[in-house]
Amino acid sequence: MSAGLKKSVLSSLIGASFGLLLFAPNAAAAEQEGKPHKVDVIAHRGASGYAPENTVAAFDLAYKMKSDYIELDVQMSKDGELVVIHDTTVNRTTDIDSEEPVAVKDLTLAELRKLDAGSYFGPQFTGERIPTFEEVLDRYKGKIGMLIELKEPALYPSIEEKIAAALKERRMDKPKHDQVIVQSFNFNSVRKMHELLPAVPTGVLTSKVTDLTNEKLKDFSGYADYVNANLINVAVDPTLVSRIHALGMNITPWTIRSRHEVPPLIKAGVDGIVTDYPDYVPKKIRR
């Protein structure tokens, strides 16, 4: 081959390579779409499809089912103790004898601990109690990840400081591999947790499409690592996932309660799936 021909061939190869670089991102994205990828399995209030929510029974089952995280809700008792329960009242998930709503914040820890938090789900769970936040941390630290939601933090002054102190006491304020994540619907509370524990990933929860504008997402990216959207109110599609990823954040939509909801989310590229039924997520795509 002559020197001139070699130069011509080399120039053509360089041009072709440059063209590939220009179009590679789109091509890679197209190739990736629809392919199974690894996601985190997050047991919503524990394996709450099979056991009473936010109880040791539900959390233990989630662990046995090899979930990556348990999701739990934290509130505060009348005497300032951190407790794990979803509703701001105890009526739905306990055996309290009252026709009127009874608020979590109006009962002491001792009063809350007397309530049966399992029998409403099934007689085999009779005797399950409302756990304290510290009990959950001590029982599952190092065994399974924890997605901690501050439930209605405006009702509980200083709850952020108390949660931060509990994590620091157990040296969980610098988690490895994001094994502790703190989230809330209250964005000010999320921002405060980020300031208190800058090494702990944080997430914003939303059921509103208006919270997912480019402007809002950019603001979230200043203090949050996750944007976790309600699957019923928000269309979790590849476009939304890409916009969140472009700002360096992840998305774990909630709450999946049927098997057919899983494949579209995997196709969209979500980072995790929050579900009452951890076994609905195929093992081959788990992290």
Distance CA 260, CA 1 (A): 60
C-beta of residue 267 within 8 angstroms of C-beta of residue 30: no
User: Per the domain annotation, does 27 fall within a domain?
Assistant: no
pLDDT tens digits for range 90-118: 999 999 999 999 999 999 999 999 999 99
For all residues of the chain together, what is the average pLDDT? 90
CA dist 254 and 101 (Å) reads: 27
- 198 by Cβ neighbours in 10 Å (0-12 / 13-18 / 19+) ranks as exposed
At 85, is the pLDDT very low, low, confident or very high (cuts 50, 70, 90)?
very high
- Rounded distance between C-alpha atoms, residue 282 and residue 73, angstroms: 26
Is residue 285 very low, low, confident or very high in pLDDT (cuts 50, 70, 90)?
A: confident
What radius of gyration, in Å, describes the C-alpha atoms of the chain? 23
Does residue 30 belong to any structural domain of this protein? no
Q: What are phi and psi of 217, to 5 degrees?
A: -60, -40
Of 108, 50, 115, nearest to 81 by C-alpha is 108
Which one from 37, 86, 194, 245 is the annotated catalytic residue? Answer: 86
Dihedral of the CA atoms 8, 10, 16, 20 (nearest 10)? -170
Residue 10 lies in a domain: no
Per-position b or e across 226-244, b if 16+ CB within 10 A of its CB: bbbbbbeebebebebbebb
Q: Give residue 61's domain range.
A: 37-285
What local confidence, expressed as pLDDT, does residue 287 receive? Answer: 74
**Measured distance between the N- and C-terminal CA atoms of the chain, rounded to whole angstroms:** 52
Name which residue leads in pLDDT, 2 or 190: 190
Instruction: Write down the pLDDT at residue 36.
Output: 63
The DSSP H or E segment spanning 60 is: helix 56-64
pLDDT band at 223 (very low <50, low <70, confident <90, very high): very high
Instruction: Please give the torsion angle defined by the CA atoms of residues 131, 136, 138 and 144, in that order, rounded to the nearest 10 degrees.
Output: 160
Asked if residue 223 is part of any domain, the answer here is yes
pLDDT score of 11: 42
**CATH number of the domain enclosing 115:** 3.20.20.190
Range ranked top by mean pLDDT from 11-15, 36-40, 122-126: 122-126
pLDDT > 60? residue 34 = no
| Residue 216 located in a structural domain | yes
Contact by Cβ (8 Å): 207, 230:
yes
Largest CA distance in the chain: 95
Closest CA to 37 of 275, 196, 272, 206: 272
**In the predicted model, what is the mean pLDDT of residues 206-215?**
98
Distance (Å, whole) CA 197 – CA 174: 8
44, 194, 245, 260: which one is catalytic?
A: 44
Q: Give the whole-angstrom CA distance, residue 72 versus residue 84.
A: 7
In the block, which residue shows the tokens 């008792």? 77
Catalytic residue check, 86: yes
Q: 111-150: per-residue pLDDT in tens?
A: 999 999 999 999 999 999 999 999 999 999 999 999 999 9
Residue 82 in any domain: the answer is: yes
The total number of structural domains in the chain stands at 1
